[in-house]
Amino acid sequence: MVKIEKFTGNKTYMYPNGAIATAEIIKNDFPAVETFTHIIETDEAGQVCFAVQNLAAVRSQMGIDSSLSEDEAIAKIEEIRNTPPAEPDPSAEERIAAALEYQNLANL
């Protein structure tokens, strides 16, 4: 499960490579966090920093309503990212194979 947190600069994370990501290091690696609102994609425990992303950009990419507050938008992003993908529709080959299998069983 992915957890989305607003970057506040008050928390220390770990990068996936094991390096410590203090607020100063994140500000050095991603200078825009000091100007724009950013979110951190992390694990359930909130320890590993998988991604640092601009909140406005993610809202645009995911079609999140701009009338939502930052906290509501972050909750919606987390909900979308944790929703399992829909089962794909069967391909034409799978439908033909199922029809042939049914036909063979019906002829027994």
- Gap between the Cα atoms of 14 and 42, Å rounded: 10
Alpha-carbon distance values, 84 to 2, 45, 73, 80 (Å): 12, 20, 19, 9
The confidence score (pLDDT) of residue 12 equals 95
Sorted by sequence, the CB contacts under 8 Å of residue 92 that are 6+ apart come out as none
The confidence score (pLDDT) of residue 67 equals 92
pLDDT tens, residue by residue, 59-95: 999 999 989 999 999 999 999 999 998 889 999 999 9
Contact 40, 15 (CB under 8 A): no
E strands, the chain, in order: 3-6, 13-14, 20-21, 38-42, 49-54
Does the predicted TM-score (pTM) go above 0.85?
no
